[in-house]
A and B are shown apart, each in its own frame.
Chain A
Amino acid sequence: MIGNSVIRKEAWDKVTGAAKYTNDYIKAGTLHAKLVTSRYAHAKIKEIDTRAAQTVPGVRAILTGEGLPLTGEDLRDRPPIAFEKVRYHGEVVAVVVADTLVQAEKAANLVRITYEPLPVVGSPREALKEGAPLIHEQLGSYQKGIGTYPEPNTNIAHRTKIRKGNMEKGWAESDVVVEANISFSPSDHAAMETRCAIAEIRPDGYIMIHASSQSPFMIKKLISSYFGEDVGKVIVHTPLVGGAYGGKTPVQLELLAYLASKAVGGRKVSIWNTREDDIITSPVHIGLEATVKLGCTNDGYLKAAEILYLFDGGAYSDKAIDVSRAGAVDCTGPYHIENVWCDSLCVYTNHPYACPFRGFGHGELSFAIERTMDLLAEKLQMDRLELRMKNAIRPGHTTPTQVLLNNSNVGNLPKCIKRLRELIHWDDWQRIEIDARTVRAKGVSCIWKTSTVDTDASSGAILTFNPDGSINLISGVVEIGTGTKTILAQILAEKMKMDIKDIHVKMEVDTQTTPEHWKTVASRGTFMAGRAVLEAADDAIRQLKEIASIVLRTPIEDLEVGYGKVFLRDDPTIYVDIKDIAYGYKYPNGNAIGGQIIGLGNYILRHLTYLDKETGAGKPGPEWTVGAQAVEIEFDKRDYTYKIIRAVSVIDIGKVLNEKAAIGQVIGAMSMGLSWASRETFLFDRYERVLNPQLRTYRPLRFGEHPEYVVEFVETPQIDAPYGARGAGEHGLIGMPAALANALSIAAEVPLNELPLVPELIWRKKKGEHHGSI
């Protein structure tokens, strides 16, 4: 069962269109909300005139920002609806609720807002300049969580410091030093299903939320905490989610749906993002400006790293603080460096506010580190993979936050590099001129990632038996397209030695009846929920054996469970069928013992700590997945256009649980990474308005534009994980931008340290000047 390419449990529903998503649950009588959003990136709200809008037939309520609590996961800096001023283009200024969506839209078009524009902040570096406009004047007074350090009277929402070793010593030991600046703007997740939420407040006070979310349990906690509702009275339903990629971790529309329902006496209200709102109003993929300085010996051993990460958190810090923290935790990339200085800042700008994106800060930091590694190799005149091999992180080394690595908590990076080297025929050529105009080049990148979830994040599982001995598997993991719930069924089938078709997976999450899985994020579903399922299976097995021992009159120790039976270890012909005891055992005279078997399990991450404020020391996550990646391109030296020929990943995922699912995850992530790196970005005008909030002009990679994908796995088990499996949902993305930029830099013979890598960027760099207009 383990390793088999089992078809997803929900596959048929998805391919036939029968699968239901959040917005499919709208029933007659549901009211509809339309968001009125800001046309300015930074402005005072002088007046909101809703009189004309109120006259539209069917309008039930128009909500504005006064009197609402501030929200935010780490730092409460965001009013759910803008109040007194707007801080980004697309920010919600009013919410119109009406009987139909058409009426709501008509009325929304009639809401007149008078603004007084304010000077805008267009990048983290601008935000940090002396005299830059303050985006949050009240930063010092905001409520904040443990380990969050805003700097009042600046645009710095949070700073994570890494101080490891002795920098003076590091630079003294360095013969060769390089420094690089890299940058890219925020972009979008572009999930197929736009974000949506439905809320209803029942007469008995129960708040029913349906949401397309990675965090149904967080929605429940946050609505309770922001608005003083009883946490048990908030019930969140999350059916299948049509793509999330981190964009559905923040809690935004759910708050608006709740407020809207409250404004109309608790009636059911649906808020469903248009594509445009989804692109800029809801949280976006973070941008970054970075300076990386690396020092090494003449023979290529890294001795010092000084790193400044300026994450573009946008107008509100929310989850961006955590992303900037993750950037610090793994700031060096997967390399052994004894002396590390890193400041990773979450900076406010007047851009749409940021949230996690597949890879959680790691694709971003890897672009900075891996570009610098290539520049270092160039300066050393050393083979690029050799430099990476020499410095590859291994057991016995420590991470930037000073976690000691061992054979379980880190994968085998040297083995990944070695295999990559063979797969891409690295030693044959790395840059080759095909003809006068065409050149081929290979770029490489190494990756690593741990999770930085809450130190007390937990996951639970419930197994209930049916009268035929089949099992219902209930877990709080949201099926966001990763197939995790099928993997959980495989883990259970393996453990129970049963047919996977007899495992019924509950796809929907209902926070009242589903045990909590903290959030479906950070490639932690299989690990945490898998551990919980194994514990629940042990619990069920114990109960099955208990009853069977009575029925079969044997000690419990002599029994084993499997193949639908509880049988004697030494004589399997003596057994009782699970179906005859799953609902209690009935004796011939009618007496009964036992009852329905219900297996319970949970798992809480262990030994995680907060990071020390001054040094960053602490344990952020349970393990590091590592890997090595490459991109091969064909470049046209005349036009600066290029094709991606091949993209390769070798990732140590500990144990392959479902081969095709794992390959699918990695290829999907690689494709997202290449799409981001090659073409995805927001384009801003000088007022920091997003010029391309539409799929017409924001164009992710499409079918037919893909290269050949090659994926291989290395298996170094994580001892405490289910069957040794490591996280694998995000890692394929992480090295793609850097590998592509490295390949293109080699081909074009010019350093390319910005994204996206469109031919015009290469043209501009080759020309060595800024573009002008004619």
Chain B
Amino acid sequence: MVPFDFTYHQPSSIQEAIQLFQTLQQQGKKTMYYAGGTEIITLSRLNLVFTEAVIDIKGIPECRTLRFDKNYLVLGAALSLTTIEEANVFPLLSKAASEVADRTARNQITLGGNICGQIFYREAVLPLLLTDSDVIIAGKDGLKQLPIQQIFQKQMRLHPGEFLVQIMTEQTYLSLPYRSIKKRKQWEVGYPLVTVAALKTNEQIRVAFSGVCPFPFRSQTVEERLNDRQLPLESRINEALHHLPRPILDDIEGSAEYRLFVLKHTLFDIITELEGE
């Protein structure tokens, strides 16, 4: 049970949402944007989330977009992960999204929620990092379009009152060879020990990670090491592991050392397969 009262607001436009946020904030109310709500519901009952008002962005048409616009795929932030999975317009994203939580939860979890939420795995961001996608952010000065790499550093760096409206991905990326592998403590359910998503473009392999550190990331240094084809693959991987950001996660899902063991093999499989294509 959610142990506090809050007001619920469902605006039908971006403008209305932004205004609502400002009004609620002026009233001194702690306010959150709300999409799927799975985190708000499950964490508030543990007193890990507190809010006095929620603004549900699912009623905003732009947040529900799933279309191609010129050379871009445009995905609304409030699309559920299963919607994206089933539409399958972005196979790498479909694959990464389909491994989050379980089916029932994915019916509720949204693309934006997974990326902007507290739970730090945020695996849906990996394909966006790999494809240099852009994000559309709404704020009190209107909409702005930014490269994801710029605004996503460990987490979304949104200002108070801003929310994620859409993701724009260049269509040319959608048909590139990819892999996405999630390794868990045991079998098919659970948070990742490591999730590795990879994309091959111009004979270069791009790699993004979740579960390795307490944040998802894509690292230029790591990619350089992995693509250094002068060296045998094992050495490239070992080099890359040395250049991972820190700390390496060491928690109830797995120790840091074991995670690296798993990561090494996962990278080996992914790169072997992608380089063979």
Contact = CB atoms under 8 A, between A and B. Distances in A.
Nearest to B247: A774
A112 interface: no
A255 to B, nearest CB: 23
B46 A276 contact: yes
A705 B102 CA distance: 13
Given A109-B47, A774-B248, A763 B186 contact: no
Contact of B185 (A639, A679, A771, A773): A679
A558 to B, nearest CB: 64
A702 B189 contact: yes
Contacts of A638: 265
Interface in B220-261: 247-248, 250, 252-258, 260-261
Interface string A450-464: 000000000000000
Interface string B1-30: 101100000000000000000000000000
A759 B252 contact: no
A40 B15 CA distance: 48
Contact of A102 (B3, B42, B257, B260): B3
A191 interface: no
Q: Closest 3 A-B residue pairs measured CB to CB?
A: A771-B255, A105-B3, A774-B256
B188 interface: yes
18 contacts: A102-B1, A105-B1, A274-B45, A638-B265, A679-B186, A691-B252, A696-B42, A699-B190, A705-B187, A756-B186, A759-B185, A760-B255, A760-B258, A763-B261, A773-B255, A773-B256, A774-B248, A774-B260
B252 A692 contact: yes
Interface of A: 101-102, 105-106, 109, 274, 276, 638-639, 678-679, 683, 691-692, 696-697, 699, 702, 704-705, 756, 758-760, 763-764, 771-774
Given A702-B188, A758-B186, A771 B258 contact: yes
B260 to A, nearest CB: 7
Contacts of A772: 255, 257
Contacts of B254: 760
A101 B252 contact: no
B262 interface: yes
A468 to B, nearest CB: 46
Contact of B3 (A106, A756, A760): A106
A691 B189 CA distance: 18
B265 A763 contact: no
Contacts, number: 65
A614 B59 CA distance: 74
A704 B102 CA distance: 12
Given A702-B189, A759-B186, A774 B250 contact: yes
Contact of B262 (A276, A639, A705): A639
A130 B45 CA distance: 42
Contacts of B265: 638-639
Given A683-B252, A771-B257, 7 more contacts: A105-B3, A106-B4, A696-B42, A699-B186, A758-B186, A773-B256, A773-B257
Contacts of B187: 678-679, 705
A758 B190 CA distance: 13
Nearest to B5: A102
Nearest to B255: A771
Interface residues of B, number: 29
Nearest to A32: B1
A274 B189 CA distance: 22
Pick from B1, B191, B265 the residue with the most CB of A within 10 Å: B1
Contacts of A678: 186-187
Contacts of B260: 774
Contacts of B250: 773-774
Contacts of A105: 1, 3
A753 to B, nearest CB: 18
A659 B122 CA distance: 47
B254 to A, nearest CB: 6
Nearest to B2: A102
Interface in B183-204: 185-191
A696 B101 CA distance: 9
A626 to B, nearest CB: 31
B188 to A, nearest CB: 6
B76 to A, nearest CB: 27
B252 A705 contact: no
Contacts of B46: 276
A705 B188 contact: yes
A692 B189 CA distance: 15
B255 A699 contact: no
Interface in B158-186: 185-186
Contacts of A764: 258
Contacts of B253: 697
Contact of B189 (A101, A276, A705): A705
A639 B42 CA distance: 33
B157 to A, nearest CB: 26
B3 A758 contact: no
B256 A699 contact: no
A639 B255 CA distance: 15
B185 A760 contact: yes
Pick from A276, A638, A683, A699 the residue with the most CB of B within 10 Å: A699
A691 B252 CA distance: 8
A699 B186 CA distance: 10
Contacts of A683: 252
A651 B96 CA distance: 44
A774 B242 CA distance: 11
A276 B255 CA distance: 24
Contact of A697 (B4, B247, B252, B261): B252
A773 B47 CA distance: 30
Contacts of A692: 252
A636 B190 CA distance: 20
Contacts of B257: 771-774
Contacts of B255: 760, 771-773
A109 B46 CA distance: 10
B261 to A, nearest CB: 6
Given A773-B250, A774-B256, A774-B260, A699 B189 contact: yes
B170 to A, nearest CB: 35
Nearest to A105: B3
Nearest to A701: B187
Nearest to A276: B46
Contacts of A704: 188
B258 A101 contact: no
A105 B42 CA distance: 15
B213 to A, nearest CB: 11
Contacts of B4: 106
A760 B46 CA distance: 29
B118 to A, nearest CB: 13
Pick from A106, A639, A691, A760 the residue with the most CB of B within 10 Å: A760
Pick from B4, B102, B185 the residue with the most CB of A within 10 Å: B185
A774 B253 CA distance: 15
Nearest to B261: A763
Nearest to A106: B3
Nearest to B3: A105
Pick from A678, A705, A759, A771 the residue with the most CB of B within 10 Å: A759
Interface in B12-65: 42, 45-47
A109 B186 contact: no
Contacts of B252: 683, 691-692, 697
Contact of A109 (B3, B185, B191, B258): B3
A250 B3 CA distance: 29
A68 to B, nearest CB: 27
Nearest to B248: A774
Pick from A109, A683, A697 the residue with the most CB of B within 10 Å: A697
A679 B253 CA distance: 11
Contacts of A109: 3, 47
Given A106-B3, A106-B4, A691-B252, A763 B258 contact: yes
Contacts of B258: 760, 763-764, 771
A436 B186 CA distance: 22
